[in-house]
Amino acid sequence: MANPEQQDEMAGGCLCGAVRYAISTPLRTVAHCHCTMCRRASGAAVATWAAVAKEGLSVTKGEAAVYVSSASAVRKFCANCGAQLFFDYVKPGRWSFVSVGTLDQPERATPALHIWASNRIPWLHFDDGLPEHAEEPGA
């Protein structure tokens, strides 16, 4: 039987494999973000993020490059292949955000809500029944 702690371990990385990371703590909230900045940064219609306690997230190979995307946040990506990996608020906080699409097993991250639904592309439809917030709850 698998060690539950090992079972909780997750790993992921960029497209080219130059940057790899591990997550040793349970994911907190997983959200689909429809904001225009995530859209442009990811090149995708929606970006799905998992909140992870900072102490539980470690880069295990390579190093993520940093792009200061606004006064309040930075985005971290692979400088070689361009994959978006992490999002961090500039102000100190407990959580980092990991791009669910870069997890080795993204199916283990279960989305709980949509944020910035006010920016959703009209042709993008979900029937997941999850709550939709026009902006970020509590923001």
Count residues near Zn ion (CB under 5 A): 9
* 6 phi, psi to nearest 5 deg: -70, -35
Amino acid type, 106: P
Fill in the per-residue mask, 46 to 85: x = in contact with Zn ion (CB under 5 A), - = not in contact.
--------------------------------x-xx----
Fill in the per-residue mask, 1 to 20: x = in contact with Zn ion (CB under 5 A), - = not in contact.
-------------x-x-x--
Q: What is the rounded CA–CA span in Å between residue 83 and residue 43?
A: 10
For residue 86, list its beta bridge partners. 76, 98
Q: Is 33 in the site for Zn ion (CB under 5 A)?
A: yes
Candidates 38, 41, 57, 64; binder of Zn ion (CB under 5 A) is: 38
Q: Which of 83, 72, 103 is nearest to 9 (CA)?
A: 103
Q: Which of 109, 114, 72, 76 is nearest to 93 (CA)?
A: 72
Q: Is 117 in the site for Zn ion (CB under 5 A)?
A: no
Q: Is 23 in the site for Zn ion (CB under 5 A)?
A: no
Hey, is 8 helix, strand or coil?
Answer: helix
Select 23 or 38, whichever has its Cβ closest to Zn ion.
38
Under the rule (CB under 5 A), what is the footprint of Zn ion? 14, 16, 18, 33, 35, 38, 78, 80-81
